[in-house]
Amino acid sequence: MRTRSPPTLDLPPRGPEAVRPDCRTLSGIQFRGPAMRIVIVSADDLAVATARRAIERGHDVVIVEKDKERIEALSDELDCGFLNGDGSKPAILREAGPEETHVLLSIGPDDQSNILASLVGRSLGFGRVITKIIDPEFQHICAELGLDETVIPNSAMARTLADMAEGRRVYEVSALLRGDLHFFGFVADEATAGPIEDLDLPAHSKVIAIYRGDEPILPGAGATIEANDQVILLADDRAREKLTERFGGQATA
Residue 132 vs residue 183, higher pLDDT:
132
Residue boundaries of the structural domains of the chain: 7-157, 176-252
**Mean pLDDT (the chain, rounded):** 80
pLDDT in tens, 10-52: 333 333 333 333 333 222 222 345 789 999 999 999 999 999 9
pLDDT in tens, 156-175: 777 767 776 777 665 555 55
The answer as to CATH 2.60.40.1260 being correct for domain 7-157 is no
CA distance 76 to 175: 31
pTM of the model as a whole: 0.62
* pLDDT for the residue numbered 159: 73
- 17-21, 80-84, 134-138, 167-171: which has the minimum mean pLDDT? 17-21
Kind of pairing between the strands at 250-252 and 181-187: antiparallel
Cβ(18)–Cβ(84) below 8 Å:
yes
Cβ(230)–Cβ(217) below 8 Å:
no
Answer yes or no: is pLDDT of 151 > 80: yes
CA distance 133 to 156: 12
Mean pLDDT calculated for residue range 58-85:
95
* pLDDT for the residue numbered 235: 85
CA distance 56 to 79: 10
One CATH from 3.40.50.720, 3.30.720.120, 3.40.50.1980, 3.30.70.1450 for 176-252: 3.30.70.1450
CA distance 129 to 87: 13
